[in-house]
């Protein structure tokens, strides 16, 4: 067949739009194994890493030749969090739930409300599915990034959204909405006829949860991941919870198999070790607070967010501090967003692992470096 003159098929218009950009999949940025990795909000607790490695070592790897059987995990997970399996969808991290919500509910031209800045995939999926975005923009304040409840309520009422997305805690801001405020937002979304997606990727670093409300509010979806507190970022497994009617729609757009065989096998065992997760979260929260207290004693401005990360503004000391830390640790140096301008972010780690970093910063600020 003569193919001369044939052209590449055109993608859906939102996907063909050059403004929808994704990183080059052939180019990676390997992290130096000699450095401490505090740049991606992973679980950096050595005890948790050892536990996950031990559990993985107990897996019968002959299971690799089989397709995953997810039903037992659905039942075990449901019992663990106190819901029936028909309220759940397993996914590739909380990201998988977010995408499923967009795929199941968003038509081109639908309005999506999400915070700015926030998890990058909210903007990507909005573009991918042709949504109109109405942003809720965090404003800088003396207390850090801020959103006024009045602005949120007015925006929902005026925009007539199909979907409202609110991570709680949010990232990269670390901000949270208290239960009574979150309930008001969910009810406003319900009155507007919108689905409400509450992203709880950082649960239980922040222990408040909207999960018990999923039968009370038929518009509510909770997204969670096992990447953060459970120390399993590399397995790419999470789940969504909602009323059965919404979950049925999300299952319609799931892939043939929600997650892989090894992830299922690991999670079935890890759910028996939730007390270890609680202990790890406690160690990381204590390490986070130890670091922040040390920075405050140096008269540096901090933000006490509720995720497994923290922010500190080094001010005029920033160039010297970044210089002495560059051969020790990877972290987020700065942000372009006005609400976080001048702040540096570190993922939480244990107090012991933070101490060398604290010591270096202290020497710089006190003029001993």
> Which parts of the chain have pLDDT scores under 50?
none
Intra-chain end-to-end CA distance of the chain, in Å: 72
Q: What is the pLDDT of residue 368?
A: 79
Q: What is the pLDDT of residues 62-112, one digit of tens each?
A: 989 999 999 999 999 999 999 999 999 999 999 999 999 999 999 999 999
Question: In the chain, which segments carry CATH 3.90.1150.10?
Answer: 30-44+275-365
Contact (CB, 8 A) for 284 and 305:
no
Q: Which pLDDT belongs to residue 6?
A: 72
Upper half-sphere CA count for residue 241 (Cβ side, 13 Å): 26
Task: Quickly list H helices, 176-273.
Answer: 179-191, 244-252, 261-270
User: What whole-number distance in Å separates Cα of residue 268 and Cα of residue 56?
Assistant: 11
Q: Name the nearest CA neighbour of 208 among 176, 233, 255.
A: 176
* Cα distance between residue 254 and residue 257, in whole Å: 7
Question: How high does pLDDT run on average in the chain?
Answer: 96
- The pLDDT of residue 2: 64
Cis upstream peptide for 117 (omega within 30°):
yes
CA distance 44 to 173: 20
pLDDT of residue 107: 97
Report the CATH architecture of 30-44+275-365: Alpha-Beta Complex (3.90)
On whether the CB atoms of residues 229 and 275 are closer than 8 A, the answer is no
Closest CA to 135 of 144, 147, 302, 143: 147
The segment(s) of the chain belonging to CATH 3.40.640.10 are 57-272
| Token pair of 310 as six digits | 């923290």
> Residue 347 burial (CB < 10 Å; 0-12/13-18/19+)?
buried
Q: Does domain 57-272 have CATH number 3.40.640.10?
A: yes
Distance CA 186, CA 195 (A): 9
């Amino acid at each position: 067949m003569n193919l001369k003159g044939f052209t590449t098929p055109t993608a859906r218009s939102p996907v063909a739009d050059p403004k929808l950009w994704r990183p080059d999949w052939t180019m990676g940025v390997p992290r130096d194994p000699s450095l401490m990795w505090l740049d991606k909000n992973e679980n950096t607790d050595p005890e948790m890493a050892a536990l996950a490695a031990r559990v993985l070592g107990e897996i019968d790897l002959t299971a690799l030749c089989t397709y995953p059987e997810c039903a037992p995990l659905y039942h075990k997970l449901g019992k663990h969090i106190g819901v029936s399996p028909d309220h759940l969808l397993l996914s590739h991290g909380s990201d998988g739930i977010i995408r499923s919500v967009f795929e199941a509910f968003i038509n081109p031209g639908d309005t999506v409300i999400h915070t700015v800045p926030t998890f990058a995939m909210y903007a990507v999926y909005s573009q991918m599915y042709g949504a109109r975005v109405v942003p809720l923009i965090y404003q800088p304040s003396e207390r850090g990034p801020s959103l006024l409840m009045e602005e949120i309520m007015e925006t929902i009422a005026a925009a007539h959204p199909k979907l409202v997305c609110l991570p709680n805690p949010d990232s990269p801001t670390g901000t949270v909405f208290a239960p009574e405020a979150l309930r008001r937002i969910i009810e406003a979304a319900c009155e507007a006829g919108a689905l409400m997606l509450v992203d709880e990727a950082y649960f239980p670093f922040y222990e408040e949860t909207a999960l018990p409300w999923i039968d009370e509010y038929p518009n509510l979806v909770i997204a969670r991941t096992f990447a953060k507190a459970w120390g399993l970022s590399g397995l790419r497994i999470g789940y969504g919870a909602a009323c059965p009617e919404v979950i049925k729609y999300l299952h319609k757009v799931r892939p043939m198999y929600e997650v892989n065989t090894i992830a299922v096998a690991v999670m079935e065992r890890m759910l028996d070790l939730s007390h270890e997760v609680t202990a790890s979260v406690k160690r990381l929260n204590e390490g986070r607070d130890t670091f922040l207290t040390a920075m405050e004693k140096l008269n540096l401005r901090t933000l006490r967010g509720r995720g497994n990360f923290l922010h500190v503004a080094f001010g005029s000391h920033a160039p010297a501090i970044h210089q002495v830390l560059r051969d020790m640790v990877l972290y987020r140096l700065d942000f372009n967003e006005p609400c976080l301008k001048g702040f540096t972010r570190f993922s939480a780690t244990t107090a012991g692992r933070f101490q060398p970093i604290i010591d270096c910063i202290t020497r710089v600020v006190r003029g001993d470096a």
